[in-house]
Amino acid sequence: MPKVAQYARFSSDNQRSESIDAQIRAMNQFCKQNHWQVVSTYTDEARSATTDNRPQFQQMIADSGKGLFDIVLVHKLDRFSRDRYDSAIYKKKLKKNHVKLCSVLERMDDSPESIMMEAVLEGMSEYYSKNLAREVMKGMNETALQCKHTGGCPPLGYDLDENRHLVINEQEAQAVRIIFQMFADGHGYTTIIDYLNAHGYKTKRGKMFGKNSLYEILSNEKYTGVFVFNKAAAKTDGKRNNHAQKDSYIRIEGGCPAIIGKKLFAQVQRIKAKNKRNTGRYHSKEFYLLTGKLVCDVCGKRMIGNLRFSGRSKTRLATYRCNTHRAMCNNKELNKDYLDAYIAVLIGERLKPKNLRKAVSKVNQQVQKFNSSYDKYHTDVLQQYNEVQDSLANITRAIEKGIFTDDLLQRAEQLENEKAKLETRLHELKLLEPIVYEDVAYLYTQWRELKRNTEEFRTFIQQFVKAIHVRPYDFDIVLDMGFGVVELTEPITMRRGELYEMFDSKVKEQKRCLKNQKADT
Ligand SMILES: [Zn+2]
């Protein structure tokens, strides 16, 4: 028969709290039902809720190490501790002494929340002082603790129920399964994207699939039913904690419904890792970050990567160069190393949380603008539709009265056609959905974490670069920070000299090379 220590607490500040007697009565009843033996009872009458001012509580914790009882029973868990940090700390102490905490009113299953709390606590105690940990936990997203979706848009394949839990959207889940299966079968991104788009599958935002959306999906562990929560998102002083980032994910098995199996997911991760190594090797020869984005403003042709080794010292020189023969176009080539480096940094700057928030609000302004004019357009179409509908109704009534003329029937057919057209148009007309910062916050992490000189990084960077127009003395960088929701372009004009000065030391070196070159000839 398990031995039980009962703990009751009455707080005079809480009007609704049961008296100590009432708590003990309920606990005695509970022990009788479960055939538990009550060996001791601890009670505190505390004004303050902090555990430090509760002598009997401290005594009970101390006694738990003496093997006097196997279970600590409370009437309600908030009697044990109302402070989440204390609760976790003391529960851990009990656990260490092989004593279980039970509650009369709450079922003490190993809920995702309690598992996560323990994980957080263990992870953090190495890095935080007690007070800091307490603060962090207070600030931690309550919704995430209950495996609730925290961001704006749920991942493809899922919808949110009224409690913000992820539920499977069967239609979209199918696309997810196709993506994983095709990738595991050895198909490349392009093939998969073509297949999806050809079969009418759409991204969560109703867009065509692109490489970047695919990459996201193939990396998302949620699809195996593991709810992943980013601990680093718990902020202490508004900044992310660097220590927490090292080990920043809490994973809850079964925290959300699975769409694909673990085996398939693991297989895909292996292929991805292998591809990464391969592309790294393949591109180690020369990697052009901005391939396809540069346009020669003199002749209108594309500018393409060019690599040569010049001078006696065979200095490597990589550039973007106009594809038209030099005799036909006098535009100058542009140093590839400088431009690539500058654009990568520029994008990173734009993705910093502060700037990202600005971009999000700009996008939403556009969305609002579109949606407000949409209303008028939508009303117009709807009005036309109603008019057609009315005319059709009139004709139907006439026919019912026995009026048949060729004209009337012809008119009816015309109207039917028109109605169908308007119906389609109404159906296709859609409001744009605004985005929230949380939808795009991952982009900055991605920018930091993606390995440079890889296909993935190029795809990532290129989604923000619409084009770069190059002229003999300057060039325009046209960024698009619309996140695929709207087009939000912003041209930045830059003199070639500015770019070259940024990499000053290299310029000097190059000048030296040029001098050598002249000496050569
Ligand atoms: Zn040209």
- Kindly indicate the confidence band of residue 447, based on its pLDDT and cuts at 50, 70 and 90: very high
Assess if residue 137 is contained within a domain. no
- Residue 302 DSSP one-character state: B
How many CB atoms are located within 10 Å of the residue 301 CB? 15
Which residue, 391, 413, 434, sits at the end of a domain? 434
Assess if residue 320 is contained within a domain. yes
Q: Which residue would you say has higher pLDDT here, 81 or 258? A: 258
Q: Are residues 421 and 340 in the same domain?
A: no
Structural domain for 261, as ranges: 145-283
Q: Are residues 342 and 261 in the same domain?
A: no
Distance separating alpha carbons of residues 175 and 390, to the nearest angstrom:
41
Please state the rounded mean pLDDT for residues 5-14.
78
Q: Are residues 445 and 481 in the same domain?
A: yes
> Tens digit of pLDDT for each residue in 422-439?
888 887 777 888 899 988
Which residue, 236, 257, 283, sits at the end of a domain? 283
What Å distances lie between residue 175 and 180, 205, 214, 334, 429, CA to CA? 9, 14, 11, 42, 23
pLDDT of residue 103: 83
| Cα-to-centroid distance, 325 and ligand 1 (Å) | 8
- Kindly indicate the confidence band of residue 161, based on its pLDDT and cuts at 50, 70 and 90: confident
| Cα-to-centroid distance, 456 and ligand 1 (Å) | 29
pLDDT of residue 303: 93
> Tens digit of pLDDT for each residue in 271-301?
888 876 655 444 346 889 999 999 999 999 9
pLDDT of residue 38: 94
Please state the rounded mean pLDDT for residues 189-208.
87
Q: Are residues 173 and 263 in the same domain?
A: yes
pLDDT of residue 81: 73
Count up the domains in the chain and report the number: 4
What CATH number is given to the structural domain containing 188? 3.90.1750.20
Q: Which residue would you say has higher pLDDT here, 268 or 242? A: 268
Question: Which residue(s) pair with 260 in the sheet?
Answer: none
Assess if residue 116 is contained within a domain. no
pLDDT at 122 over 60: no
Which residue, 388, 415, 434, sits at the end of a domain? 434
| Cα-to-centroid distance, 303 and ligand 1 (Å) | 7
| Cα-to-centroid distance, 293 and ligand 1 (Å) | 14
| Cα-to-centroid distance, 479 and ligand 1 (Å) | 22
Q: Are residues 410 and 429 in the same domain?
A: yes
Q: Are residues 346 and 467 in the same domain?
A: yes
Q: Are residues 488 and 412 in the same domain?
A: no
3-state secondary structure of 344: helix
Assess if residue 138 is contained within a domain. no
- Kindly indicate the confidence band of residue 239, based on its pLDDT and cuts at 50, 70 and 90: very low
Distance separating alpha carbons of residues 386 and 388, to the nearest angstrom:
5
| Cα-to-centroid distance, 506 and ligand 1 (Å) | 26
Q: Are residues 263 and 307 in the same domain?
A: no
| Cα-to-centroid distance, 511 and ligand 1 (Å) | 25
- Kindly indicate the confidence band of residue 464, based on its pLDDT and cuts at 50, 70 and 90: very high
Q: Are residues 221 and 104 in the same domain?
A: no
pLDDT at 463 over 90: yes
| Cα-to-centroid distance, 330 and ligand 1 (Å) | 7
pLDDT at 128 over 70: no
Tokens 């392009």 -> residue = 190
- Kindly indicate the confidence band of residue 1, based on its pLDDT and cuts at 50, 70 and 90: confident
| Cα-to-centroid distance, 469 and ligand 1 (Å) | 11
pLDDT of residue 432: 83
| Cα-to-centroid distance, 336 and ligand 1 (Å) | 16
| Cα-to-centroid distance, 233 and ligand 1 (Å) | 48
| Cα-to-centroid distance, 470 and ligand 1 (Å) | 9
The residues whose Cβ lies within 5 A of ligand 1, an ion, are 296, 298-299, 322, 324, 329, 331
pLDDT of residue 105: 77
Q: Are residues 353 and 377 in the same domain?
A: no
| Cα-to-centroid distance, 324 and ligand 1 (Å) | 5
Q: Are residues 22 and 77 in the same domain?
A: yes
Q: Name the percent of the chain lying above pLDDT 90.
A: 31
- Kindly indicate the confidence band of residue 411, based on its pLDDT and cuts at 50, 70 and 90: confident
3-state secondary structure of 158: strand
| Cα-to-centroid distance, 468 and ligand 1 (Å) | 13
pLDDT at 59 over 60: yes
Residues in the chain: 521
- Kindly indicate the confidence band of residue 241, based on its pLDDT and cuts at 50, 70 and 90: very low
Q: Which residue would you say has higher pLDDT here, 105 or 496? A: 496
| Cα-to-centroid distance, 298 and ligand 1 (Å) | 5
Distance separating alpha carbons of residues 9 and 29, to the nearest angstrom:
17
- Kindly indicate the confidence band of residue 250, based on its pLDDT and cuts at 50, 70 and 90: low
Assess if residue 119 is contained within a domain. no
| Cα-to-centroid distance, 299 and ligand 1 (Å) | 4
Assess if residue 188 is contained within a domain. yes
| Cα-to-centroid distance, 474 and ligand 1 (Å) | 14
| Cα-to-centroid distance, 139 and ligand 1 (Å) | 56
Distance separating alpha carbons of residues 88 and 90, to the nearest angstrom:
6
Q: Which residues of 344-362 are buried (b: 16+ CB within 10 A; e: fewer)?
A: bebbeebbeeeebeebbee
pLDDT at 520 over 60: no
Assess if residue 349 is contained within a domain. yes
| Cα-to-centroid distance, 344 and ligand 1 (Å) | 25
Question: Which residue(s) pair with 477 in the sheet?
Answer: 468, 492
Contacts of 327 (CB under 8 A, 6+ apart): none
Closest CA to 494 of 307, 342, 325, 311: 342
> Tens digit of pLDDT for each residue in 365-396?
998 888 888 878 888 888 999 999 888 888 88
| Cα-to-centroid distance, 300 and ligand 1 (Å) | 6
pLDDT of residue 47: 55
Please report the beta strands in 165-314, taking only residues with DSSP state E, as ranges in sequence order: 166-168, 226-230, 249-253, 294-296, 303-310
What CATH number is given to the structural domain containing 38? 3.40.50.1390
pLDDT of residue 310: 74
Assess if residue 445 is contained within a domain. yes
Distance separating alpha carbons of residues 333 and 119, to the nearest angstrom:
55
Please state the rounded mean pLDDT for residues 311-328.
84
CB-CB contact of 94 with 57 (8 Å): no
3-state secondary structure of 466: strand
Q: Which long-range contacts (CB under 8 A, 24 or more apart) does 173-180 make?
A: 173/259, 174/201, 175/201, 176/217, 176/223, 176/259, 176/260, 177/259, 177/260, 179/214, 179/217, 179/218, 180/217, 180/218, 180/223, 180/260, 180/264, 180/265, 180/268
Q: Are residues 351 and 238 in the same domain?
A: no
Radius of gyration of the chain (CA): 33
| Cα-to-centroid distance, 492 and ligand 1 (Å) | 20
Q: Which two tokens stand for residue 21?
A: 């007697």
Distance separating alpha carbons of residues 319 and 114, to the nearest angstrom:
57
| Cα-to-centroid distance, 346 and ligand 1 (Å) | 25
